[in-house]
Amino acid sequence: NKPTLILADEPTGNLDSKTSHEIMSLFCQLNDEGITIILVTHELDIAAFAKRLVVFSDGRIVEDKTVNQRSWPC
C-alpha cells in the first residue's frame, strides 16, 4: 500500500523524546518519497520538522508559512 497522504493527529503525544524523533524521522522519509504528511501537534520540537506551518487559534488560521530551513533536520 502506497498512500499519497497521511493524516497524523498528535502522533507523538504520549511518547518519550527519543521515540518521538524516530517517528518524525520516519515521516520525513515518507515525505521524501513523495507522500504528503499532515500532522497536528502542540509540541514545538515536533513542529520544527515541518516544511510548512499552519497555526490555528480559536479555530482560525493565524499564520501560514513555508519553512525554508527546518529547525530539526530529518
The confidence score (pLDDT) of residue 69 equals: 65
The confidence score (pLDDT) of residue 72 equals: 60
Tell me the pLDDT of the chain (74 aa) as tens digits.
889 999 999 999 999 999 999 999 999 999 999 999 999 999 988 998 998 999 999 999 999 999 876 666 66
Q: What angle do CA 59, 74, 60 make, to 5 degrees?
A: 5
Does residue 30 contact residue 38 with C-beta atoms inside 8 Å?
A: no
Residue ranges of the domains in the chain?
A: 5-66
3-state secondary structure of 69: coil
- Give the C-alpha distances (Å, rounded to integers) separating 45 from 1, 3, 4, 6, 65: 30, 26, 25, 20, 17
Please give the Cα distance from 36 to 59 (Å, whole number). 23
Q: Which CATH class is domain 5-66?
A: alpha beta
The confidence score (pLDDT) of residue 1 equals: 81
The confidence score (pLDDT) of residue 29 equals: 95
